[in-house]
């Protein structure tokens, strides 16, 4: 008999049901019972219901494979993550100066021009579309204030990196702190999730921009 522990991912390999809840073959959930060999264990379904299942109806679930990302949907200004065999990975914005073709051109070092990555050797594993842009002198001024705010903060983010980071953040469009923090984290740490320290930077940036516009 297969043993499970609480928290294990399971999948129903046969149809089952419990008090009006149907669990057809393929239903996924989490083992929610302290008895590793219970004949009728509790299972928390991905749809939210907590049900009793027949032990013979469930099996360990293989990790779900996400659908491959479509490189055709990537646009200049978007942030992407590329990976290659051996574990090498890079996360950076797609350069505005690119025709795509057989290469990715990424602004890994914004001040030094784009870097080329062959599509024959690198695979697209994450894609974050760029926020809507706002053009004009007000945005330029806001970028400068943002750069200054970072330069004078306790977080040692170089000023020259702040302008390209914030230029892609939508800036005066909505001044969304979470979105700005996510983009800062993508640039500083290669993370698709906003770090707390970068939320604090984003809040300081927003205060600087709003204060400068007052």
Q: What is the pLDDT of residues 121-167, one digit of tens each?
A: 888 888 888 765 544 455 445 545 565 555 555 555 554 455 555 55
Q: Is the C-alpha dihedral spanning 195, 142, 76, 114 positive or negative?
A: negative
- The DSSP string of 129-151 is PPPPP--SHHHHHHHHHHHHHHH
Could you tell me if 30 and 8 are in contact, meaning their C-beta atoms sit under 8 angstroms apart?
A: yes
21's tokens: 């809840």
Q: Are residues 56 and 76 in the same domain?
A: no
Q: Are residues 75 and 94 in the same domain?
A: yes
In-domain check, residue 198: yes
Q: Are residues 116 and 149 in the same domain?
A: no
Q: How far is CA 113 from CA 47, 77, 105, 110, 123, in A?
A: 47, 14, 9, 6, 22
Could you tell me if 14 and 25 are in contact, meaning their C-beta atoms sit under 8 angstroms apart?
A: yes
Radius of gyration over every alpha carbon of the chain, rounded to an integer in angstroms: 24
pLDDT recorded at residue 153: 57
User: Rounded to two decimals, what is the model's pTM?
Assistant: 0.38
Tell me which residue range forms the domain holding 30: 9-60
71: nearest Cα among 110, 117, 93, 104? 104
If one compares 192 and 1, the residue with the highest pLDDT of the two is 1
Q: What is the total count of domains within the chain?
A: 3
pLDDT digits (tens, 9 = 90+) for 33-71: 999 999 999 999 999 999 999 999 999 998 876 677 888
Q: Are residues 117 and 148 in the same domain?
A: no
If one compares 192 and 162, the residue with the highest pLDDT of the two is 192
Q: Is 8's pLDDT higher than 50?
A: yes
Q: How far is CA 92 from CA 11, 27, 174, 176, 201, in A?
A: 37, 37, 23, 20, 19
């Amino acid at each position: 008999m297969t043993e499970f522990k609480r928290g294990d991912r399971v999948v129903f390999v046969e149809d089952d049901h419990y008090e009006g809840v149907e669990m057809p073959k393929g239903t996924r959930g989490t083992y929610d019972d302290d008895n590793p060999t219970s004949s009728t264990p509790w299972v928390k379904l991905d749809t939210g219901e907590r049900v009793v299942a027949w032990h013979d109806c469930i099996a360990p679930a293989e990790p779900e494979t996400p659908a491959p990302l479509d490189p055709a949907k990537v646009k200049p200004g978007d942030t992407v993550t590329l990976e290659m065999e051996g574990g090498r990975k890079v996360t950076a914005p797609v350069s505005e100066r690119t025709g795509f073709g057989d290469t990715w051109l990424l602004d890994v070092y914004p001040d030094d021009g784009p870097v080329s990555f062959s599509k024959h050797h690198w695979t697209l594993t994450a894609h974050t579309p760029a926020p809507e842009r706002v053009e004009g002198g007000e945005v330029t001024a806001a970028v400068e204030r943002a750069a200054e705010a970072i330069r004078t903060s306790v977080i040692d983010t170089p000023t020259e990196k702040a302008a390209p980071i914030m230029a892609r953040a939508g800036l005066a469009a909505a001044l969304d702190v979470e979105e700005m923090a996510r983009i800062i984290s993508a640039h500083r740490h290669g993370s698709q999730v906003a770090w707390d320290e970068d939320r604090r930077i984003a809040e300081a940036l927003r205060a600087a921009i709003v204060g400068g516009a007052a």
